[in-house]
Amino acid sequence: MEIEKLNEENIKTLLTKLLKRSPISYGRYEASVNEIIKNIRERGDAAVFELEKKFDKVDLTPENIRVSDEEIKEAYTKVDEKLLNVIRKSLKNIRSFHEKQRQNSWFTTDEKGIFLGQKVTPIAIAGVYVPGGKAAYPSSVLMNIVPAKVAGVPRIVMCTPPGADGKIYPPTLVAAHEAGADEIYKVGGAQAIAAMAFGTESVPKVDKIVGPGNIYVALAKKAVFGYVSIDSIAGPSEILILADETANAHYVAADLLSQAEHDELAAANLITTSEQLAKDVSREIDGYLPKLSRADIIRKSLENYGHLFVAENKEDAYDAVNQIASEHLEIVTKDPFLDMTKVKNAGAIFLGTWSSEPLGDYFAGPNHVLPTNGTAKFFSALCVDDFVKKSSIISYSEEALREAAGDIQDFAECEGLTAHANSVKVRFEK
């Protein structure tokens, strides 16, 4: 791999290229997605069955659209025990981390008789979308369901496309059942998103839709936002490694390659203050690459979105890290905790030699559903808070309201809202 000097121009070019991968910039699919949504809204199940026949080549009916207990049992017989075992261990860690995110309702009082607070309530129905076929990752099923479960959501609905045999990929079913999905429907694509957003005879209307998907799924989620809540719109995966001369080039190369294998659009970048490290990593990558099973995908991803940048100093490196706002950031330096204090924007930050990124994908516990494409500047990892909402609580005593009454009336009158002023005034009239 080529080595480049880090400068403003380079970073700008990279950012422009990365942003073009964003699913929301593909305007040309919008019309067909809107057509699907309209169809589902107007015709419900009939449209779902028709679209599933067209896209997934299956004959669905009100009787077989929902995955049965028997099908779940059957899936367990087809899943390797090793996988089941690791799903359970991973689930324990994911649950444990997310339980720490739980927020309490809280209140504050004032002796005048004022009670103010925030009441936290889980949403009633969460909808989880899981892609089918090659893109079905049991780890992703866990990551999307667990935060809803920990939040206390009483009904978790999942949609995922069936194969041509009408069955769901067994590891997906097993992961969903282990994580606690209550109902699973065999629907995929934009039709699944529309069905969950508006409800059909078979698929319940949900309050929030989460989960990754292809371009049709991403655009459908954006279209139904407001009718329901959605998580952020996921783009291709990314890793950025910030390393100095203390980093092990062999490991850095392996971590860059691990992210690049996801997808031809995946981005794997290195920023280092050590030219020697950049050279060593370059050599390691060239050596490794041919040996990996997904070498073709990796090669394309690195060609288009992969760089080895050498920064003149740490400040330039920090600045670039914050501009890129990567989904995954590894800090492999002499003092990673110190360097972490300089990072403003990143989905997940992995510190030190032993915190390889796949540790976060599968096992450590924090969510692997992370903001991509620079959206770590304003979005966060999927979390328990995504599945609750908060009601403000306001209770004033007569004494407290009497004291505030004049101010409230003044403010309301200044805004020309006399009935607002009146609603306070009447309470203190003789």
328: annotated active-site residue: yes
Q: Residues 367, 372, 374, CA angle at the centre, nearest 5°?
A: 130
Name the active-site residue from 328, 330, 357, 368.
328
Q: Is 307 helix (H, G, I), strand (E, B) or coil?
A: strand
191 labelled ligand-binding: yes
To a second copy, the closest distance from the beta carbon of 381 in angstroms equals 5
Among 1-9, 64-72, 184-192, 363-371, the segment contacting a second copy (CB under 8 A): 363-371
Tell me, by CB under 8 A, how many residues bind a second copy: 122
CA-based nearest residue to 303, from 337, 265, 332: 265
Binding residue (CB under 8 A) for a second copy from 155, 167, 279, 294: 294
Burial (CB count within 10 angstroms: exposed 0-12, middle 13-18, buried 19+), residue 111: exposed
Binding residue (CB under 8 A) for a second copy from 32, 246, 313, 423: 423
Phi, psi for residue 404 in degrees, rounded to 5 = -90, -15
**Pairing state of beta strands 388-395 and 114-122?**
antiparallel
177 labelled ligand-binding: no
The yes or no reply on residue 290 touching a second copy (CB under 8 A) is no
Among 3-11, 48-56, 308-316, 417-425, the segment contacting a second copy (CB under 8 A): 417-425
| Local structure of residue 354 (DSSP, 8 states) | T
The yes or no reply on residue 215 touching a second copy (CB under 8 A) is no
To a second copy, the closest distance from the beta carbon of 352 in angstroms equals 6
Residues 6+ apart with CB under 8 A from 143: 94, 367, 368, 369, 382
Name the helix (H) or strand (E) containing 124.
none
- Interface of this chain with a second copy, residues 39 to 98, rule: CB under 8 A: 80, 82-83, 85-87, 89-90, 97
**Pairing state of beta strands 328-332 and 388-395?**
unpaired
Contact map string, positions 368 to 387, toward a second copy, x by CB under 8 A? --xx---xxxxxxx-x-x--
34 labelled ligand-binding: no
Phi-psi region of 302 (alpha: psi -120 to 50; beta: other; left: phi over 0): alpha
- Interface of this chain with a second copy, residues 8 to 27, rule: CB under 8 A: 22, 24
The yes or no reply on residue 261 touching a second copy (CB under 8 A) is yes
One-letter amino acid for residue 73 of the chain: K
Joined together, the tokens standing for residue 165 give 């045999």
Nearer to a second copy, 71 or 385 (CB): 385
- Interface of this chain with a second copy, residues 94 to 123, rule: CB under 8 A: 97, 100-101, 106, 108, 114-116, 118-119, 121, 123
Q: Max Cα separation, the chain?
A: 89
Joined together, the tokens standing for residue 144 give 């999307």
Q: What DSSP letter does each residue of 153-169 carry, written as one string?
A: -SEEEEE----TTS---
SS3 content of the chain, % helix, strand, coil (to 5): 50, 15, 35
Name the active-site residue from 52, 327, 330, 357.
327
**Pairing state of beta strands 238-243 and 328-332?**
parallel
The yes or no reply on residue 390 touching a second copy (CB under 8 A) is yes
Among 60-68, 176-184, 310-318, 360-368, the segment contacting a second copy (CB under 8 A): 360-368
Binding residue (CB under 8 A) for a second copy from 178, 207, 238, 339: 207
| Local structure of residue 149 (DSSP, 8 states) | H
- Interface of this chain with a second copy, residues 123 to 182, rule: CB under 8 A: 123-124, 134, 137-139, 171
Nearer to a second copy, 168 or 329 (CB): 329
Residues belonging to the binding site for NAD(+) are 129, 191, 214
Residues belonging to the binding site for substrate are 237, 259, 262, 328, 361, 415, 420
- What residues act catalytically? 327-328
